[in-house]
Structure 1
Amino acid sequence: MSLRKSGARSVPCPPLRGITFSPPSSVEGGLSASGTLLGGIFGIRKASVTHPYPVLPHAVDQPSPPVKAAKPGFRPEVQGLRALAVLMVASYHIWLGRVSGGVDVFLLVSAFLLSLSFLRKGEAGRSLQLRHYWTHVFNRLLPAAAVVIVGTLAATVLFVPRSRWAEIFSQAWSSLLYVQNWALAADSVDYYAADHSIASPFQHFWSLSVQGQVFILWPLLFALSAVIARIAHQRFRRVVLCVFGAVFAVSLVFSVYETYTNQAHAYFDTRTRLWEFAFGTLLALAIPYLKPGRGLRVAAGWIGLAAMLSGGFILDVQGQFPGFVALWPLTAAALVIIAGQTGSRFGADRVLSWGPLVRMGDMSYALYLWHWPILVIYLAWRGRQEVGLVGGALILGLSLILAALTTRFVEKPVRAGERHGTWRRSAVVIAACLAIVAVPLASGQYLLKSADDRLQAEAELNYPGARVLAPDYDGEPTGVPVRSVSSTDPDSWGSLPQECSDVPDGPTDPVLTSICFSTPNTDSAKRTVLIIGSSHAQQWIEAVEPMAQAHDYRVIALLKGGCVYGDTVASRSEDCNRFNEAATEYALEMKPDAVIAVATAAMPEDAADPLVEGLPEAAQKLAGEGIDVIGVRDNPRFPFNMQVCAETNGADSCTAPLVDKQSPNLPTAEDAAGITLLDFSDLICPEGICSPVVGNTYVFLDDNHLTTAYAASLADEFDRRFHEAVGW
């Protein structure tokens, strides 16, 4: 199949009222003759959409040179719109470290074209053939996705540090099964992080996962609409308007709320995105009644194109999407679709119908699939946080080459074979794609786990960590490979076995109930130790819990990421201040024997770790009730990932003097009134040198956290120093 150029003249369309699809005879309702209706984000292959009004003859413009005949109803400007949008997505990711809003454009276009097909069937009273639709859609999506997943896994093994393999393997499953968005939402991944070198190479599959879920849900909603229309004796189109109008309203309200309260989760949440698809469906319903003159269509096309290109610069995508602000790219795309083929040489469709851009649209799905893993793996391999102009051009060039090869040798053969196939044949292709990924992926995970289990069995002997610094240590850990640790592995963070909701004296304030954890010895413990704070307090659980077990203490932890413990201060967020207020109230109510918090805040670039603001004030409140407050000095922080640096360049290349990472002295007793300070810097950076590896164990999980293994190796010394401090 070759793409036919669309020159200056518009493609003639019959003057029909409404919009119709021209599906191939073997793939009814949902797939155009030239390809899939919904190839992932960009898999709309030559969508055959006729204009809702006649294309006017050139009343003023001079006739353009004749062009080759195109398929009747083919909308080259839609194909060009997709191509331009995917180039925006890739360029913003590669050079700007921003999100362009291009993905939102494709969400709308996907739903728009999907809805046209089912509207046509529903109004004709024909079967929606859901089984047929689902198998053919995923038959188009999975082959290219499977090739990219397998290729990314191979590149991961070759170029990415081993510490990240387990995380990437897990996300490969999520991507293959179209649940990647939920995996990222659960981790509250920052999609806008400037440092893509530590992002997942499968992170971009979030949008494909959302679409895959909608490809299953939307036909069901159309089927429901058909049933309601039949039972209530209503017009199918009217019922569809009510059903999808309700989806639009409910989802938009929820999207605005969740974006405001938990934006990192909202970005990946399918429920916050449904209104964007519903927007496309409502546009499909409305467009037969939208009949502006040619002058208005010319203006609409250019306004829509300008808005789409500028949105990523003008909008605060990081802080506001996908709330109501996402209406910007959706409205922009809608204006281009409404403008359609203007019949004017001054129309935006002349640009969007440019031959090379139209041809680019044919491989836009594959380009989207390839550009992100190439970018992330390149950055991880090179140990960089961004690419320059030349490096970015090479990444984009390689992405285009792989996209062209994938389109030519994977997508096109699948489309050609589908023309004479059945839903059973499509199901076989889907099963084969799943197997192509699942077999090597499961094998890799098994081998990785076996190796880790073998190393774990030798942990005490070969991975002493800080224990190697003890005067009486006589082991021989040298020569044994260091075990890699992934920051996305739940086992990489300190944890306690029981949620406070299951214990009788847990907090009742809803601010704390979901982030409180406890050891199970609620009745028999001799003493109670309360840990309060951020992940930097959480990492010390691995040192505190062994001490507690040895002395029959109970440990409770109140943990909120990014929120250090202290009294209310203006520099912290309202959410963090509310947590700290509730934590102090709970501590005063239950009266633990001691509270442990992080006392200082280290800087990644400066030799400074000042006292945490508000901690002395909070400590004095607790001390007034006889509660010992133990402030642990913050561990050094770095401007790069220490573990990745060691794996890439060797541990000796990633050291730093301790004097360059901390203030010369601890805070004075006057400044830290009510706080007993503990400093483990001599064990974290022995002999004044901060190294990624001590005692054959990684010290640092990333650029600012200790690994659980190293924190656990500090348990004996933590026990000794803690009891000296509290005098128990």
Structure 2
Amino acid sequence: MVNSKPGYRADIEGLRALAVILVILYHFEVPGITGGFIGVDVFFVISGFVITQLLERAFAKGTFRFADFYARRIRRLVPVFLLVSTVTFLMISPFYIGDAYYIFAKSWLSSLIGISNLYYFTELTQYFAPETRSLSLLHTWSLAVEEQFYLIWPLTLYLAYRFGKGRSGHWPFRITLLLTFALSVYLASRWPAAAYYLLPARLFEFMLGTGVALFANRLPRLSRTAAESLSLAGLAMIIATALLLTKHDHFPGYNALWPTLGTALVIYAGLHQPGTVAGRLLSLPVMVFLGGISYSLYLWHWPPVALMHYQLVELTAWNRIALLAGVVVVSWLSYRYVENRYRHRPWSLKKSFMVFVLGPLIAIWAIQSTIRIADDLSFRIPEERRELYTIIANNNPADLYKRCFKGDPVEFNTGNACLFGAPAKDGKPNSMLIGDSHGIAQIGFVEQLIEGKGYSLLMVTRASTPFLPTPIAEKVQARDPTQVARNHALTEYLEQHPPMTVFLGAWWNSYLRNEAYQQHFLRTLNWLIDQGHTVVILEDVPELPSSSYAECLLKNMDDCTIDATEVEQNLINFYRFKEAARAQHPEILWTNPRKVLCDEQRCQTVLNGIPLYRDESHLNNVGAVEIGKEYLKRFDNPLPGIHETEPQTQH
């Protein structure tokens, strides 16, 4: 049945279908679709065009009311979102634990009020950012961007119509389009996370669509040949970008221009010649059907994939097919019985807001608060696995020894709370463990090595703060005054105390991706040795492909090992640093916990039935202790004794 709505175009429904197909194939990790995420950008152009046409018709008839516009937007977008997000909440509740469950609740709330892009931007740029592939509502960031566009564009266009000066309006538009594109290129280069998640870098994409709606009829009418050429070129630009672009490429910026300009060309050509080859392909019944349910498809497709990632279930060809079939069915059902049930109801803005926003907002806030304050795991985690959960979730060394990790960067704690091993003579330790969160994560391992060896060890660590002497820190860490202040205080402490044994821990793999850090760390070693200190470098444990592997035992996985070859490949930069350091200072001692965990083929994430990690790169404290015990069983202790000791300080 042909849709007879004013302005309806079957080829635009087909463009919607193409956009959502690309996104789904990308998220389902179908080989070859490396840039399928550009489907979102195709949606943005379509939205700019469709909304502008809708507004223009209302302005021309004199029927536009802001309250009606936003009431329709609420009824169009929110009911299906509430259905999908509620089902997702019920679906993940037996599986998601700890921060993952609470993060879902926070993202649920931010998605409902249209700021999930802001939430994910702030959440995913933190040091302890969650694993993105397991975030069930991550895909709503694009809906938030679209909703934010809806907030600013109707008023902007209304003012332009009310106070603009006729045909001269295309000049301000062109200038704004060029400026917003330049802004996107700049942000994608300087602040890629902000460019990806926030509206400013995507604004030019909407404007390409609005520009076609506003000014296409002022250009010469396209001939059949010109329309065929432009529409095919546009379609080819979309598909080629989806096949050639990767997640590692500069984006959005100039790479977003190709699919969005291609979309604008297809829409523009269809305004003049609706029967082009590209237009007929996009107007095929299957494309029109998928385009009609594209919003539901977009909402439904990601949550089951995120749960599979969380549960470490592999995406095979068969479960991709099953997922796709299931998503199409539930999308059609929700389109028919939810989208169409509410979108055309003549409810006021007040009623729409109260029913679909305010009421659910209160309910979701109550769920979030309950999870945060009093989440009872007993109904979600079987009793036999709660001890495993406790090991993973409640044994973060940064929390157990927070006095040695958090607090004042200058007046760091030198009291008994941060002293390990033998009692300090006259309150003065003879060794230190300094570094970042990877340093403190290994304290359980270090405790096993220093036991009975005469080490009175003071631990001073801070998140994202590897030790660098003051002259280096002032240059390298200048953007973060707390890092400089901490390292200045440590520099003074190490200068003023007699020679000590200094254990250095850091997220070596992260820092050494920057080639300059090779020299920064080598100069740091030179400085420590010049001060007369003995240096022990704590090598890192294998990094996991995902934080979900930390909870492998909770997920009843048969195999909790990871590929040793990939672990070794990730250590290439560290091995270059180690080789250079050994050449300059062969006296440096190195401790390597990977010796316990890895053979030539696989690396363990579980040892003697104990989960070792708390996320993809940090040990939990029980795991660190177990690695230390196993190390001493299998290998000689690399640490020399310092002197006879008295009974150990207990921690």
TM-score of Structure 1 vs Structure 2, range by shorter chain: 0.7 to 0.9
What's the secondary structure of 2:615's corresponding residue? Answer: coil
1:497 maps to 406
The structure 2 residue matched to 1:395, chosen from 309, 319, 323, is 323
2:634 maps to none
Q: Distance in 2 between matches of 1:178 and 1:600?
A: 35
**Does 2:306 align with 1:372?**
no
Distance 1:679 1:139, change over 3 A: same
Structural mapping, 1:622-701, within 5 Å:
622-626=528-532, 629-637=535-543, 641-649=548-556, 653-654=559-560, 673=586, 675-678=588-591, 690=604, 692=606, 698-701=611-614
Structure 2, unaligned runs of 5 or more: 416-426, 470-474, 495-499, 511-516, 631-636, 646-651
The structure 2 residue matched to 1:80, chosen from 14, 21, 27, is 14
2:55 maps to 118
Paired residue type of 1:207: S
1:285 maps to 214
1:355 maps to 285
The structure 2 residue matched to 1:185, chosen from 114, 117, 121, is 121
Q: 1:596 Cα deviation (Å)?
A: 4.8
1:421 maps to 347
What's the secondary structure of 1:631's corresponding residue? Answer: strand
Q: 1:369 Cα deviation (Å)?
A: 0.5
> What CA deviation, in whole Å up to 9, does each residue of 1:622-673 have, x standing for no partner?
32244554411322445675323211226x853699999899x999976753
The structure 1 residue matched to 2:198, chosen from 269, 273, 279, is 269
Q: 1:204 Cα deviation (Å)?
A: 0.8
> What CA deviation, in whole Å up to 9, does each residue of 1:569-627 have, x standing for no partner?
xxxxx999999xx9899669944427653489799xxxxxxxx9665554123322445
Q: Distance in 1 between matches of 2:532 and 2:590?
A: 17
Distance 1:313 1:683, change over 3 A: closer
2:497 maps to none
Structural mapping, 1:174-323, within 5 Å:
174-188=110-124, 198-225=133-160, 230=163, 234-235=164-165, 238=168, 242=172, 245=174, 247-290=176-219, 291-323=221-253
Paired residue type of 1:673: P
Structural mapping, 1:50-65, within 5 Å:
none
- Work out whether residues 225 and 240 of structure 1, in 8 Å CA contact, stay in contact via their aligned partners in 2: no
- Work out whether residues 297 and 328 of structure 2, in 8 Å CA contact, stay in contact via their aligned partners in 1: yes
Distance 1:520 1:153, change over 3 A: same
Distance 1:724 1:388, change over 3 A: same
Paired residue type of 2:135: S
What's the secondary structure of 2:181's corresponding residue? Answer: helix
Distance 1:213 1:539, change over 3 A: farther
1:483 maps to 390
Q: Distance in 2 between matches of 1:659 and 1:424?
A: 59
Distance 1:633 1:590, change over 3 A: closer
Size of the aligned set, in residue pairs, is: 578
2:68 maps to 132
> What CA deviation, in whole Å up to 9, does each residue of 1:436-463 have, x standing for no partner?
96278347615753559xx9xxxxxx9x
RMSD of Structure 2 on Structure 1 (CA): 5.3
Paired residue type of 2:255: V
1:27 maps to none
The structure 2 residue matched to 1:559, chosen from 460, 464, 468, is 464
Q: 1:543 Cα deviation (Å)?
A: 9.3
Q: Distance in 2 between matches of 1:493 and 1:356?
A: 57
Q: Distance in 2 between matches of 1:682 and 1:312?
A: 42
- Work out whether residues 42 and 263 of structure 2, in 8 Å CA contact, stay in contact via their aligned partners in 1: yes
Paired residue type of 1:632: L
- Work out whether residues 482 and 698 of structure 1, in 8 Å CA contact, stay in contact via their aligned partners in 2: no
- Work out whether residues 655 and 691 of structure 1, in 8 Å CA contact, stay in contact via their aligned partners in 2: yes
Distance 1:160 1:283, change over 3 A: same
What's the secondary structure of 1:555's corresponding residue? Answer: strand
What's the secondary structure of 2:504's corresponding residue? Answer: strand
Paired residue type of 1:215: Y
1:324 maps to 254
Distance 1:590 1:660, change over 3 A: closer
Q: Distance in 2 between matches of 1:684 and 1:347?
A: 59
- Work out whether residues 235 and 263 of structure 2, in 8 Å CA contact, stay in contact via their aligned partners in 1: yes
Q: 1:530 Cα deviation (Å)?
A: 8.1
1:105 maps to 42
- Work out whether residues 212 and 267 of structure 2, in 8 Å CA contact, stay in contact via their aligned partners in 1: no
Q: Distance in 2 between matches of 1:391 and 1:122?
A: 49
Paired residue type of 1:559: S
> What CA deviation, in whole Å up to 9, does each residue of 1:96-116 have, x standing for no partner?
473421110111111222223
Q: Distance in 2 between matches of 1:619 and 1:678?
A: 16
What's the secondary structure of 2:136's corresponding residue? Answer: coil
Q: Distance in 1 between matches of 2:363 and 2:398?
A: 26
Q: Distance in 2 between matches of 1:135 and 1:577?
A: 49
- Work out whether residues 71 and 352 of structure 2, in 8 Å CA contact, stay in contact via their aligned partners in 1: yes
Distance 1:691 1:111, change over 3 A: closer
Q: 1:423 Cα deviation (Å)?
A: 2.5
**Does 2:632 align with 1:704?**
no
Distance 1:75 1:634, change over 3 A: same
2:648 maps to none
> What CA deviation, in whole Å up to 9, does each residue of 1:546-583 have, x standing for no partner?
x9xx99968364727xx9989xxxxxxx999999xx98
Paired residue type of 1:340: G
- Work out whether residues 110 and 277 of structure 1, in 8 Å CA contact, stay in contact via their aligned partners in 2: yes
Distance 1:345 1:408, change over 3 A: closer
Q: Distance in 1 between matches of 2:327 and 2:45?
A: 25
1:472 maps to none
Paired residue type of 1:117: L
Q: 1:74 Cα deviation (Å)?
A: 2.1
Q: Distance in 2 between matches of 1:492 and 1:430?
A: 40
Distance 1:373 1:294, change over 3 A: same
Q: Distance in 1 between matches of 2:261 and 2:401?
A: 46
Distance 1:436 1:139, change over 3 A: farther
- Work out whether residues 188 and 251 of structure 2, in 8 Å CA contact, stay in contact via their aligned partners in 1: yes
Structure 1, unaligned runs of 5 or more: 6-45, 47-69, 456-461, 463-476, 504-517, 567-573, 604-611
Q: 1:274 Cα deviation (Å)?
A: 2.0
What's the secondary structure of 2:90's corresponding residue? Answer: helix
Is the helix fraction higher in 1 or 2?
A: 2
> What CA deviation, in whole Å up to 9, does each residue of 1:196-218 have, x standing for no partner?
99431211111011112222222
Give me the TM-score of the superposition, normalised by structure 2: 0.72
Q: 1:539 Cα deviation (Å)?
A: 3.6
- Work out whether residues 247 and 274 of structure 1, in 8 Å CA contact, stay in contact via their aligned partners in 2: no
What's the secondary structure of 1:597's corresponding residue? Answer: strand
Q: 1:699 Cα deviation (Å)?
A: 2.2
